[in-house]
C-alpha cells in the first residue's frame, strides 16, 4: 500500500502535539508499518516517512514541526542500535509482539478503571473516550477503544444537555415549588398526568423518530382546560399556577421540551454533585420516568461536576450570580480585609448595587412617563439582582399593568365587536374590563357602562343605535393596579337590514327582510341592469312592513333592489344605515341539472375540486355532509335551499358548453347538489357524492443502491396510503396501513429512476375518502463513460505528439459532447475551465460500444501537466477516469 502522508499526519503526528513525556514505544504505529511489507517495500516506506518528517520539521516553531524534530531524533538513535534490521520484516513483527506484551498490564488497568468510572451507566461518550486517549498516548486511540469494549461499555455520542431553564430565576423557583405541591415529578408528568409508561426525552433532539410525548402549545392548552374542570384543591391550584408559568414561557417562544429536559437534568445533576454513584443516578433518572436507555444516556452526557468554592471570595461571587445581593453583602462583611481578593469582590458588589439603584431610577422614570412595560422589565431585571428585596416586590405590585394594545371596535350587524392584544407583561392571569361611554372615552375602570369583564382579548356589545360611543379597555393582574385606558375610535351602530329574500316570477318580484327594532323606516329603490349608486338612486318601491311586491319588472333582465334602514339620532335627525343591494332575474321555471361532475384537481399548487355541468342558467351549488331529502326535479323555496348545507363558492367560467367552478373542498364525505334557480324557487338537481382526505406531508425519497425508501408524514385523519410507483419498466400500486409503514415504503429502483405518487385514504362511515396525489421523483443512475488516452502503437509513434482517446459507455448515450483539456502543474483539473481545451468530440454511443478520436499536444506543453476528458453534455453521463499514469505527464 502506498504511503499516505495526509492520513499519517492525521492519525500519528497530530495526536502527539500535546505529549509531554517520551514518544510512545509503539514503533509499528510510529513508522506506520503495514503487515505483509517485504524488505524492499520497507526500505521505500521508511524513506517516505523520514522525508515527511524532514519537510515538517523545517518549520520548528509549530507544534507539528516540534513533533517531527522529536521523531527524527528518536529515529537517529534507533538507526544506531537497530541498523539494517529496520528493513527486516521479522524484526518488525518481533517489535510488535514485544510492545503488545509490555502494554497488557496498562490495558488491563485501564479496563478496570473504566468499568469503575463508567460501568454504572454502561456508556461512555466519544468525547470522554478521546479525552482518555489524549492522556494515554502510549496506548493509542484504538487500544483505548478496545479497553472500553472489554470493560463492557457502549460508546455513544453524547448529547448537549440544556444548561439553563429558559426562565428567569424567580419564575423557575416558583415553577419547581408548584410542581412539588401539584405532586408532579416532572414537567412531563404535569402535562401528561395519566402517563404510566417510560418516555424518551434526552434523545428527542438527537434521534428523529425516537418515542416521545407531545410537549407543545396544544398539549398545554388541553391540560389547562382539564385542570379548569377539576374540583378545587391545593394540588389543583398548584397545577393551574404551574401551567400558567408554562403558558407565559411558551408564548415568549420557549420550547417546552427544553424546559422539561432541563428539569430532569437539574435533579440528576444535584444528586451527582452530592456524590451519588453512576449506577444509582441511572436508577433515579429512570425513576423520574425516563426509559432505561434515555436515563443511561443522560447520566453519561452530564457535564463535569461543579467544584465547591475553594476561597471565601468565590462564595460572594456565587451569591451575586444567583441574584442574592443582600446575602452577598453579608458574606463580604465577613470577608477579611486582608484577603487578596477583598478589593475585587468589593468592586463587584458595588457594581451590582450601583446597577440596582440605576434600574430602580429608570423604572421610576418609565412609570411616571406611562411606559409601564419598560418599567416592569426594569423592575424584574432589578429583582434578578436582589431577589430577596421585599420592597422590589411591593413596587412591582403597585405598578399598573401595561395598557392593552391595538384596541378595535367594529360594528357588525346589531352588535359592536371589540378586540385587542395583551400587553407585554410578565404577569399571568390577566383580566380585562371593557367600558362604554357616550361622546367621550372612559377615564378609569369605573367610568361608563361595563360591557365585559373577561380573560379573553375580545368582547361584544349591543349598544343603542344611532348614538356615538367610545370604548376603553382596562387590564388587571393579581395583586397589580389597573392599567390606564386603551381606547377605540368613535363608533356609531347603524345595523343594515338582514336576511333579504327575493322571489322572482315571470311577471313580478316579491321580497322580504329583517330589520333592527330601532329602525324607523326602510327605504327601497329599484334599478334595472345595474346596481344603484347610492340609497337615493333608482325608482322608489312601496314597502309594507318587512316585505314588498313589485310588478313593474321585465322578464330575463337583472333587477337590483337597494334596501336602506333609517334610524333617528338623539337630536332628531335621520341616520341611514349602509344600503344592502340584492338582485334577481324574473324568469320562468328552471330545469334540473342532471350531469353535475366533480373531479379533484391541483391548480397553482392548490388542491381544488372542479365542478362542471351543462347549461348556463342560474345554478346555485350547495354542499352538505348529508344527502338531500328531495327527489331530483322537485322545486323548493329559496329559503329552503339556503338552509341545506353550505354554499359552494368559486369563480364560475364557461368551457366547451359547460359551466365550470373550481372550489376549495373540505376533507371527508360530502354531497354536492346543484339547484337551478327559476320561477318560484329552485329545482333540485342530481347530487354528486365526493370523498376527500388530507394529502400526506413531507414526502421524500432516499435511494440506496437498487432500492428506494419513500417516507412521509401521516395526517391525523388518514389511516391508509396508496403508493403508485412509475418507472421505465412499468407501474405498480400498493397500499400500506400505518402499522405496515414502519419507517417508510421500500420500492425497487433501477438505473432509470422513477416517480412515486402517494394518496392518503381515510375510511369513514360513508366509505373511503381519497386525497390528491403528492409526488416525488427519484433520479436514475448516471450513465458511465470510461475513456483511455494512449499513443498509437509502433516505435515511430513514441515521439509523436498525437494522442488517441478511446471512449466506451455502459448504456446508450445520445447527444454526447466531450472535451479534452491540458492543465499545467501538479494539481489535477476538476472542471474543464481549469485547463486548455485540446479536442472536442460529439456523437452517440450504443451500450458497450466504443468510439475514438485523436488530438495533438501543443509544442509548448512542458511537464508536469495533466490530460483529462470531461463530459459537457448531457448532465446524466459521468466520465470515469483511467489510471493516473495515463492522465499525468511528469517528464
> CA 860, CA 862: separation in Å to the nearest integer?
6
Closest CA to 170 of 475, 427, 361: 427
What residues contact residue 409 under an 8 Å CB cut-off, 6+ apart? Answer: 416, 417, 418, 471, 488, 489, 491
Quick one: cell of 25?
514505544
Phi-psi region of 633 (alpha: psi -120 to 50; beta: other; left: phi over 0): left
Preceding peptide of 301 cis, ω within 30°: no
Share of the chain above pLDDT 90, in %: 33
> CA 390, CA 740: separation in Å to the nearest integer?
61
Preceding peptide of 864 cis, ω within 30°: yes
Please compute Rg for the chain using Cα positions.
42
Cβ proximity of 108 and 147 under 8 Å: no
Q: Burial of 534 by CB count in 10 Å (0-12 exposed, 13-18 middle, 19+ buried)?
A: exposed
Cβ proximity of 125 and 114 under 8 Å: no
pLDDT digits (tens, 9 = 90+) for 177-194: 888 888 888 988 898 988
Residue 43, H or E segment:
helix 39-57
For 434-452, what is the mean pLDDT? 93
Q: Which residue has the cell 517485504?
A: 38
CA angle, corner 36, sides to 31 and 40, nearest 5? 70
Cβ–Cβ contacts within 10 Å for residue 603, how many?
Answer: 9
> CA 595, CA 597: separation in Å to the nearest integer?
6
pLDDT at residue 237, as a whole number: 81
pLDDT at residue 437, as a whole number: 94
What per-residue string of b and e applies to 279-310 under the rule 16 or more CB within 10 Å gives b?
eebbebbbebbbbebbbbbbbbbbeeeeeeee
Quick one: cell of 723?
403508493
Mean pLDDT value across the chain: 86
Cβ proximity of 622 and 675 under 8 Å: yes
> CA 791, CA 75: separation in Å to the nearest integer?
45
Of the pLDDT bands very low, low, confident and very high (cuts 50, 70, 90), residue 660 is very high
Cβ–Cβ contacts within 10 Å for residue 439, how many?
Answer: 10
φ, ψ at 556 (rounded to 5°) = 80, 0
Cβ proximity of 472 and 459 under 8 Å: no
pLDDT at residue 791, as a whole number: 86
> CA 809, CA 848: separation in Å to the nearest integer?
6
Pairing of strands 877-880, 783-790: parallel
Cβ proximity of 249 and 167 under 8 Å: yes
Q: DSSP strand E in 144-301: where?
A: 154-156
For 837-861, what is the mean pLDDT? 91
C-alpha to C-alpha distances, 245 to 267, 397, 411, 479, nearest whole angstrom: 19, 18, 36, 16
Determine the length of the chain: 891
pLDDT digits (tens, 9 = 90+) for 529-565: 999 988 889 999 999 999 999 999 988 888 999 999 9
pLDDT at residue 704, as a whole number: 77
Share of the chain above pLDDT 70, in %: 95
pLDDT at 611 over 70: yes
Residue 818, H or E segment:
strand 813-824
pLDDT at 289 over 60: yes
Quick one: cell of 753?
429512476
Cβ–Cβ contacts within 10 Å for residue 536, how many?
Answer: 13
Of the pLDDT bands very low, low, confident and very high (cuts 50, 70, 90), residue 587 is confident
Of the pLDDT bands very low, low, confident and very high (cuts 50, 70, 90), residue 310 is very low
Quick one: cell of 553?
319588472
For 280-288, what is the mean pLDDT? 83
Q: Three-state DSSP class for 292?
A: helix
Closest CA to 641 of 613, 677, 690: 677
pLDDT at 211 over 80: no
pLDDT at 249 over 70: yes
Amino acid at each position: 500500500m502506498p504511503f499516505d502522508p495526509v492520513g499519517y499526519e492525521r492519525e500519528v503526528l497530530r495526536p502527539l502535539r500535546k505529549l509531554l513525556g517520551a514518544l510512545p514505544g509503539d514503533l509499528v504505529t510510529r513508522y506506520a508499518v503495514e503487515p505483509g511489507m517485504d524488505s524492499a517495500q520497507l526500505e521505500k516506506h521508511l524513506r517516505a516517512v523520514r522525508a515527511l518528517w524532514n519537510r515538517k520539521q523545517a518549520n520548528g516553531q509549530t507544534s507539528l514541526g516540534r513533533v517531527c524534530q522529536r521523531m527524527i531524533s528518536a529515529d537517529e538513535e534507533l538507526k544506531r542500535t537497530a541498523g539494517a534490521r529496520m528493513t527486516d520484516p521479522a524484526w518488525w513483527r518481533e517489535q510488535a509482539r514485544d510492545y503488545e506484551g509490555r502494554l497488557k498490564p496498562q490495558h488491563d488497568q485501564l479496563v478496570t478503571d473504566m468499568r469503575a468510572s463508567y460501568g454504572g451507566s454502561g456508556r461512555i461518550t466519544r468525547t470522554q473516550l478521546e479525552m482518555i486517549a489524549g492522556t494515554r498516548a502510549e496506548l493509542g486511540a484504538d487500544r483505548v477503544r478496545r479497553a472500553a469494549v472489554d470493560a463492557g461499555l457502549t460508546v455513544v455520542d453524547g448529547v448537549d444537555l440544556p444548561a439553563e431553564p429558559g426562565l428567569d430565576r424567580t419564575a423557575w423557583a416558583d415553577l419547581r415549588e408548584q410542581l412539588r405541591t401539584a405532586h408532579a415529578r416532572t414537567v412531563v408528568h404535569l402535562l401528561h398526568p395519566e402517563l404510566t409508561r417510560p418516555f424518551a426525552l434526552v434523545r428527542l433532539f438527537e434521534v428523529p423518530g425516537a418515542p416521545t410525548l407531545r410537549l407543545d402549545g396544544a398539549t398545554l392548552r388541553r391540560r389547562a382546560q382539564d385542570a379548569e374542570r377539576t374540583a378545587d384543591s391545593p394540588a389543583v391550584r398548584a397545577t393551574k399556577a404551574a401551567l400558567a408559568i408554562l403558558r407565559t414561557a411558551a408564548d415568549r417562544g420557549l420550547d417546552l421540551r427544553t424546559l422539561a429536559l432541563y428539569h430532569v437534568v437539574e435533579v440528576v445533576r444535584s444528586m451527582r454533585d452530592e456524590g451519588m454513584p453512576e449506577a444509582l443516578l441511572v436508577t433515579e433518572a429512570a425513576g423520574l420516568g425516563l426509559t432505561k436507555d434515555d436515563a443511561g444516556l443522560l447520566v453519561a452526557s452530564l457535564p463535569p461536576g461543579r467544584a465547591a468554592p475553594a476561597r471565601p471570595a468565590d462564595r460572594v461571587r456565587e451569591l451575586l450570580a444567583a441574584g442574592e445581593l443582600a446575602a452577598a453583602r453579608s458574606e463580604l462583611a465577613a470577608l477579611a480585609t486582608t484577603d487578596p481578593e477583598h478589593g475585587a469582590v468589593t468592586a463587584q458588589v458595588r457594581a451590582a448595587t450601583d446597577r440596582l439603584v440605576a434600574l430602580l431610577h429608570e423604572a421610576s422614570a418609565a412609570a411616571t412617563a406611562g411606559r409601564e412595560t419598560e418599567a416592569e422589565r426594569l423592575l424584574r431585571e432589578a429583582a434578578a439582582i436582589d431577589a430577596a428585596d421585599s420592597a422590589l416586590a411591593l413596587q412591582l405590585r403597585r405598578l399598573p399593568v401595561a395598557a392593552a394594545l391595538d384596541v378595535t371596535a367594529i360594528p357588525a350587524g346589531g352588535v359592536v365587536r371589540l378586540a385587542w392584544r395583551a400587553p407585554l407583561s410578565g404577569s399571568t392571569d390577566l383580566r380585562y374590563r371593557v367600558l362604554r361611554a357616550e361622546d367621550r372615552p372612559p377615564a378609569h375602570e369605573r367610568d361608563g357602562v361595563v360591557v365585559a369583564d373577561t380573560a379573553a382579548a375580545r368582547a361584544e356589545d349591543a349598544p343603542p343605535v344611532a348614538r356615538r360611543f367610545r370604548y376603553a379597555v382596562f387590564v388587571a393582574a393579581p395583586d397589580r393596579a389597573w392599567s390606564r385606558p386603551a381606547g377605540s375610535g368613535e363608533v356609531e351602530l347603524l345595523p343594515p337590514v338582514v336576511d333579504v329574500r327575493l322571489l322572482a316570477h315571470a311577471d313580478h318580484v316579491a321580497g322580504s327582510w329583517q330589520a333592527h327594532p330601532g329602525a324607523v323606516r326602510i327605504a327601497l329603490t329599484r334599478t334595472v341592469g345595474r346596481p344603484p349608486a347610492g340609497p337615493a338612486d333608482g325608482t322608489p318601491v312601496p314597502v309594507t312592513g318587512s316585505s314588498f311586491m313589485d310588478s313593474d319588472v321585465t322578464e330575463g333582465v337583472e333587477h337590483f333592489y337597494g334596501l336602506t334602514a333609517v334610524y333617528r339620532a338623539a337630536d332628531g335627525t335621520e341616520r341611514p344605515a349602509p344600503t344592502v343591494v340584492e338582485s334577481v332575474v324574473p324568469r320562468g321555471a328552471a330545469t334540473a341539472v342532471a350531469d353535475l361532475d366533480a373531479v379533484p384537481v391541483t391548480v397553482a399548487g392548490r388542491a381544488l375540486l372542479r365542478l362542471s355541468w351543462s347549461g348556463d342558467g342560474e345554478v346555485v351549488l350547495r354542499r352538505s355532509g348529508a344527502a338531500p331529502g328531495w327527489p331530483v326535479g322537485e322545486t323548493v323555496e329559496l329559503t329552503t335551499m339556503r338552509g341545506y348545507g353550505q354554499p359552494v363558492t368559486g369563480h364560475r367560467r364557461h368551457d366547451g358548453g359547460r359551466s365550470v367552478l373550481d372550489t376549495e373542498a373540505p376533507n371527508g364525505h360530502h354531497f354536492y347538489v346543484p339547484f337551478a334557480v327559476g320561477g318560484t324557487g329552485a329545482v333540485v338537481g342530481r347530487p354528486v357524492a365526493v370523498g376527500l382526505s388530507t394529502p400526506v406531508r413531507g414526502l421524500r425519497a432516499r435511494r440506496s443502491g437498487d432500492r428506494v425508501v419513500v417516507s412521509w408524514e401521516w395526517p391525523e385523519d388518514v389511516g391508509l396510503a396508496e403508493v403508485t410507483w412509475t418507472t421505465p419498466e412499468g407501474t405498480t400500486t400498493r397500499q400500506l396501513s400505518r402499522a405496515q409503514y414502519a419507517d417508510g415504503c421500500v420500492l425497487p429502483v433501477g438505473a432509470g429512476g422513477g416517480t412515486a405518487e402517494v394518496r392518503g385514504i381515510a375510511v369513514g362511515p360513508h366509505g373511503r375518502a381519497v386525497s390528491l396525489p403528492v409526488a416525488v421523483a427519484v433520479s436514475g443512475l448516471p450513465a458511465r463513460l470510461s475513456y483511455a488516452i494512449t499513443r498509437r502503437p509502433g516505435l515511430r509513434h513514441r515521439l509523436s505528439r498525437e494522442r488517441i482517446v478511446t471512449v466506451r459507455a455502459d448504456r446508450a448515450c445520445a447527444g454526447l459532447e466531450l472535451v479534452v483539456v491540458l492543465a499545467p502543474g501538479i494539481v489535477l483539473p476538476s472542471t474543464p475551465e481549469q485547463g486548455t481545451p485540446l479536442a472536442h468530440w460529439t456523437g452517440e454511443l450504443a451500450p458497450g460500444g466504443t468510439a475514438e478520436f485523436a488530438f495533438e499536444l501543443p509544442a509548448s506543453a512542458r511537464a508536469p501537466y495533466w490530460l483529462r476528458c470531461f463530459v459537457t453534455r448531457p448532465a446524466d453521463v459521468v466520465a470515469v477516469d483511467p489510471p493516473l499514469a495515463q492522465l499525468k505527464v511528469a517528464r
